[in-house]
Amino acid sequence: MDKHKTTETIIALETEALHAWHKGNPSPFLELYAKDFTYFDPAMELRLDGLEQIKELYESMRGKIKMDNFEIVNPRVQVADSMAVLTYNLHSYAGKSVWKENCTEVYRLEENNKWKIIHSHWSLTKPATD
């Protein structure tokens, strides 16, 4: 497996999904999620298990997220066999406000040779203290 090509592919998939997400469209992320997908979110007390649970959450958010721009900071993809782990910091901008989060996405290469996310973990970036 070409690790450089895999890195480029994973980051491109994530970037495309984030472009839509920041315009209130969760569909590209939903298309990336595997059926056995699991999800941790800082706003949720418990892990969500399965594609149906995340669909329900995302549909309740559809059209409500509107950000001007975003930046993927310090992305890293670690590749092993048919798995890849993407980690990065996300800076989302709305006017003068900046929302900072940490993200870990675990991708699996499926039988159809497509990368799918099997686990996603989001957390808030600790704000800087002076």
Domain that holds residue 51: 3-124
Quote the CA–CA distance of 40 and 43 in Å, as a whole number.
9
Higher pLDDT, 121 or 112: 121
State the CB neighbour count (10 A cutoff) for residue 37.
22
| Mean pLDDT across 110-120 | 95
| Mean pLDDT across 61-75 | 94
Indicate whether 130 belongs to any domain: no
Model pLDDT for residues 101-111, shown as the tens digit of each residue: 999 999 999 98
Indicate whether 87 belongs to any domain: yes
Q: What is the mean pLDDT of the chain?
A: 93
State the CB neighbour count (10 A cutoff) for residue 89.
14
| Mean pLDDT across 72-77 | 98
Indicate whether 36 belongs to any domain: yes
Number of domains, the chain:
1
Indicate whether 89 belongs to any domain: yes
Indicate whether 129 belongs to any domain: no
Indicate whether 86 belongs to any domain: yes
Q: Of the ranges 10-14, 58-62, 70-74, 89-93, which one carries the lowest mean pLDDT score?
A: 58-62
**Residue 126 pLDDT > 80, yes or no?**
no
Indicate whether 19 belongs to any domain: yes
**CATH label of the domain that carries residue 48:** 3.10.450.50
| Whether the model pTM is above 0.85 | yes
Indicate whether 50 belongs to any domain: yes
Letter for the amino acid at 18? Answer: L
